[in-house]
Amino acid sequence: MARHLITSALPYINGIKHLGNLVGSQLPADLYARYLRARGHEVMFICATDEHGTPAELAAAKTGEAVADYCARMHDVQAELAAGFGLSFDHYGRSSSDRNRRLTQHFAGRLADAGYIREVSERQVYSHADGRFLPDRYIEGTCPNCGYDKARGDQCENCTKQLDPTDLIDPRSAISGSTDLEVRETKHLYLRQSALKGQIAEWIDGKTDWPILTTSIAKKWLNDGDGLQDRGITRDLDWGVPVRRGDEDWPGMEGKVFYVWFDAPIEYIAATAEWADASGADDAAWRRWWRLDEGAGDVTYTQFMGKDNVPFHTLSFPATLIGSGEPWKMVDYIKSFNYLTYDGGQFSTSQGRGVFMDHALEILPADYWRWWLLSHAPESGDSEFTWENFQQSVNKDLADVLGNFVSRITKFCRSKFGETVPEGPAYGPEEQALTEAIAGRLKAYEASMEAMEVRKAAAELRAIWVLGNEYLQAAAPWSVFKTDPEKAAMQVRMGLNLVRLYAVLSAPFIPFTAAGMLEAINGTGAAWPDDLQAALSALSAGHAFTVPEVMFAKITDESRAEWAERFKGVRS
């Protein structure tokens, strides 16, 4: 049994996330965590809400709530939706936690002691209309690199170029929209990433198994232009982790907070500590996942994220860990994803364009969405959600292949043999051929899952479902029953054992349906089929079962048209 630490990028607290956010980090991370647990490994799966910075303040201002109250409420909303989608976090934390505050200040102190933080007098945008300095995300304008007219002051989400607010063309306040801006002097702390470039480059060069998408983004930021730049880690905001040097005040930094992208990745560690606190465990319980000198040497650490988060996880967060001089566990593998687009355009949180997690669960169960998103994960390039493709995938993959198989075999058995597994003779050559075919597909499925090749894994799982349908169609127990009921009983026994097998194999993708299948077949507690022959004989004669309700209802053309119209514009 191996130990696996898994983290998915922290979702911002500012509102409900859309399906593109979900498939870009949390959902594939859950798939991998569920698979590893099913194989008997020890897993720590961590996520949290990212609560500091401009998005939180702006969102709270719109609702009229105090930012702390807004964040507490939205954390509960996001946690509930995560549970609704079956995201199996061991802990879903908060970056505003006391644990994260203390750890962030600890790292800042270590970095300062090591000479990796410098104080900089810089010119920053001040808004007369708002009466305050405007941190990067409070400023919008045109990107000087690609011309995108809604670029933020920290990064252009269109071309992913890192920016400073003063780089923007025609800047405006994101609070008031005012262009009455002035550049004033202010002091901030900078992390000397440039001084750590050699160590970071050496670390990245050692990750020869990383996806091309991850490595290419990291090396572009590391080597393009002037190379890795020092980065500001403080902001003039009220909401955030107060700037302190460990347990000490930081002269000249009064009233400032740490930059959200400095404290947010540290929350991975802090959330694991929050898990220990919630479990009533001591600090040793979480430190064995993160400290190499306290047991983390045998941990494999995997991060999941969208491509826009790659620079901070391959450069800035590693710079924090390396620069601290302490033996923290570094990530072993970063699984990054491209974007999911929506029906010919972009998902838009501000415009409410596309399907958001809450509305998705209102119209269909989670497994419908889980299956489509994972089987169309944007791995090698961007993927597009269309209602036509979604309808086709649900109807053909889930209803016609898996759902139809389970329904046919259980209903036929009930009609001819009752609701217990029939006996019949031993499996014959057709059943042996089926077992061998499944074994080949199962090996490919496991290899794809271990390599985190999500779409390939989905394709292999579907192929295993298809094998059962093909067997059932060729065996035709409904015809065989007329002349050889004993042989038909054996074929039905094989089919019922396939239901159990499919439930176990499908659980990482469609956990709610899989649990229902196991409950119907009275096979709860079924383990991964390391011995396939034994797995296909697990349900012996006399084993009771029930016929499940319709597992997947087909999506009608009328429903598809209604949803396409509903989610094309402004969110209600």
**Residue stretches of the annotated binding site:** 143, 146, 156, 159, 349
Q: Please, are residues 266 and 241 in contact by the beta-carbon 8 Å criterion?
A: no
> Which residues line the annotated binding site for ATP?
349
Q: How is residue 198 written in tokens?
A: 């050699």
Sorted by sequence, the CB contacts under 8 Å of residue 257 that are 6+ apart come out as: 52, 234, 235, 237, 238, 239, 240, 241, 242, 243
- Per-residue HEC secondary structure of 494-526 comes to HHHHHHHHHHHHHCCCCHHHHHHHHHHCCCCCC
Q: Please, are residues 51 and 96 in contact by the beta-carbon 8 Å criterion?
A: yes
Facing residues of 359 across strands? none
Facing residues of 286 across strands? none
> Which residues line the annotated binding site for Zn(2+)?
143, 146, 156, 159
Q: In the block, which residue shows the tokens 């959330």?
A: 271
- Per-residue HEC secondary structure of 14-59 comes to CCCCEHHHHHHHHHHHHHHHHHHHHCCCEEEEEEEEECCCHHHHHH
Helix, strand, or coil here: 122? strand
Q: How many CA atoms lie within 13 A of 97 on its CB side?
A: 25
Q: How is residue 174 written in tokens?
A: 């994101």
Helical pair 67-84 and 54-63, crossing angle rounded to 10 deg: 100
Q: How is residue 212 written in tokens?
A: 């091309």
CB atoms within 10 A of CB 127: 22
DSSP 550: P
